[in-house]
Amino acid sequence: MGRDFVYVILGGGVAAGYAALEFSKRGISRGDLCIISEENVAPYERPALSKGFLFPEDPARLPSFHTCVGANEERLTPKWYKEHGIELVLGTRVKSADVRRKTLLTAAGETINYKILIIATGARALKLEEIGVNGSNAENVCYLRDLADAIRLVSVMQSCVGGNAVVTGGGFIGMECAAALIMNKINVTMVFPAAHCMDRLFTPKIASFYEDFYKSKGVKFIKGTVLSSFENDSSGKVKAVILQDGTRLPADMVMVGIGSRPNTSLFEGQLTLEKGGITVNGRMQTSNSSIYAVGDVATFPVKLFGDLRRLEHVDSARKSARHAVAAIMAPDKTGDFDYLPFFYSRTFTLSWQFYGDNVGQVVHYGDYSGKSFGAYWINKGKLVGSFLEGGTKEEYEAIAKVTRLQPVVAAIAELERKGVGFALSV
């Protein structure tokens, strides 16, 4: 009973799009592959949702940012899937999985059978209720994970021009949305518990550059506290945010970016999980040899660090997806995934890239009052991480290369003096 496919990709996000392209490059028969997605659009480049999609002028809209344009590859429109005989089962949530029977059951009651499954269910936005704050279902409280959220956010922003927004969370989503809100002429107060923004990656010195830049654009920061409740008007809309320290902030809208959680629940108790994700080996294969996991949901061995990591970044989603397909289609020619972690962000006129690991001693370099500066992380005598703001293509390539090489650093002062020149000289 049900429909049969050789390959099924569960989830229709970034990883799914790149996996589909890799399958088609390697040659699959029509009708072999199906992608099941809760979203009702074909896979797209999710980072666009907090960038171009939110611009007040000339915003990015589908089909312009379907995968795989983010890696300068073909843009896979719904027509492309049709032409390649790849079934897109959209607007469909899988509600249970049976790894022994190799079946998935959709919310509509359909059974889909696979020979090989790729789990690409990504992550979901953490809700305020999960940290003990109620009321996030009010119409002017926004999250941002998928296209539906982004469409809603745009409409809420349009109704708040000239008003006040409270952004809760100082990570990627909070920072990128705060910038977009300012561009949309909305006053922004950012609230987060840490001592500085992007605290899992940035050093205080790096963070202070971005906070100062944001302040120059009008953003206010309230740090070291969290949102504790909302004040609502008679229609249920939030009109003020109350912080744990008692501060009351009038708000026409609230943007929540407090973190995410990997979508693993369908497989809990059926597959091995570690570090919050589904454990895979260097071939992206789970504890069940017919099942692979890629993207945000996968906990994979990072050879360079000699440990397991789960990364929620687009480059890792793209590359892990391609690697899984290579391992499936050409098992003898595919070694272990050898990934250099890479994160980036762009806001206002700023743009930074980070490679590697942010552990050990930090060496800052460059002009922190200007727009070209960076940092290296040195652990156990070796360079293990590199950050650069405002770099050129060659400079970014150079910091990626040097981070992968992990050179021994004899003289810290020289690194500081040479700055990005050190990477360019390696």
Coil, helix or strand at residue 104: strand
Determine the Cα–Cα distance for residues 308 and 326; give it in Å rounded to an integer: 21
Burial 30-53 (b: 16+ CB within 10 A, else e): eebbbbbbbbebbbbbbbbbbbbb
Out of 8, 14, 255, 340, the only residue in the binding site for ligand FDA (CB under 6 A) is 14
Structure tokens at 299: 């906990």
Q: Tell me, what amino acid is at 412?
A: I
Cβ-contact 332, 283 below 8 angstroms: no
Q: How far is the CB of 81 from ligand FDA (least distance, A)?
A: 14
**Residue 145 interacting with ligand FDA (CB under 6 A):** yes
Cβ-contact 423, 386 below 8 angstroms: yes
Q: How far is the CB of 114 from ligand FDA (least distance, A)?
A: 14
**Residue 343 interacting with ligand FDA (CB under 6 A):** yes
Cβ-contact 280, 267 below 8 angstroms: no
Determine the Cα–Cα distance for residues 114 and 10; give it in Å rounded to an integer: 11
Coil, helix or strand at residue 345: strand
Element housing 191 (H / E): strand 187-192
**Residue 122 interacting with ligand FDA (CB under 6 A):** yes
**Residue 11 interacting with ligand FDA (CB under 6 A):** yes
Q: How far is the CB of 353 from ligand FDA (least distance, A)?
A: 10
Binding characters for ligand FDA, 52-71, by CB under 6 A (x = yes) = --------------------
Q: How far is the CB of 53 from ligand FDA (least distance, A)?
A: 8
Out of 8, 21, 36, 384, the only residue in the binding site for ligand FDA (CB under 6 A) is 36
Out of 314, 325, 398, 400, the only residue in the binding site for ligand FDA (CB under 6 A) is 314
Closer by beta carbon to ligand FDA, 14 or else 423: 14
Closer by beta carbon to ligand FDA, 145 or else 283: 145
Q: How far is the CB of 58 from ligand FDA (least distance, A)?
A: 19
**Residue 88 interacting with ligand FDA (CB under 6 A):** no
Closer by beta carbon to ligand FDA, 54 or else 378: 54
Closer by beta carbon to ligand FDA, 173 or else 190: 173
Closer by beta carbon to ligand FDA, 108 or else 426: 108
**Residue 180 interacting with ligand FDA (CB under 6 A):** no
Out of 295, 341, 391, 419, the only residue in the binding site for ligand FDA (CB under 6 A) is 295
Q: What is the DSSP string of 107-128?
A: TTS-EEEEEEEEE---EEEPPG
**Residue 341 interacting with ligand FDA (CB under 6 A):** no
- Do strands 291-293 and 361-367 pair parallel, antiparallel, or not at all (unpaired)? unpaired
**Residue 389 interacting with ligand FDA (CB under 6 A):** no
Out of 30, 79, 93, 380, the only residue in the binding site for ligand FDA (CB under 6 A) is 93
Coil, helix or strand at residue 32: coil
Q: Tell me, what amino acid is at 304?
A: L
Out of 5, 7, 21, 47, the only residue in the binding site for ligand FDA (CB under 6 A) is 47
363: Cβ contacts below 8 Å, ≥ 6 apart: 375, 376, 377, 378, 412, 415, 416
Q: How far is the CB of 314 from ligand FDA (least distance, A)?
A: 4
Strand partners, 36: 10, 89
CB neighbourhood size of 366 (10 A): 18
**Residue 87 interacting with ligand FDA (CB under 6 A):** no
Determine the Cα–Cα distance for residues 423 and 192; give it in Å rounded to an integer: 34
Q: Report the site for ligand FDA in 252-281 (rule: CB under 6 A).
A: 263, 266
**Residue 13 interacting with ligand FDA (CB under 6 A):** yes
Closer by beta carbon to ligand FDA, 295 or else 366: 295
* H helix and E strand count, the chain: 9, 26
Q: How far is the CB of 199 from ligand FDA (least distance, A)?
A: 17
Element housing 223 (H / E): strand 220-223
Burial 74-92 (b: 16+ CB within 10 A, else e): ebbeeebbeeeebbbbbeb
Q: Which residues bind ligand FDA (CB under 6 A)?
A: 11-16, 36-39, 46-47, 49-50, 93-94, 120-123, 144-146, 172-173, 263, 266, 295-297, 312-315, 317, 343-345
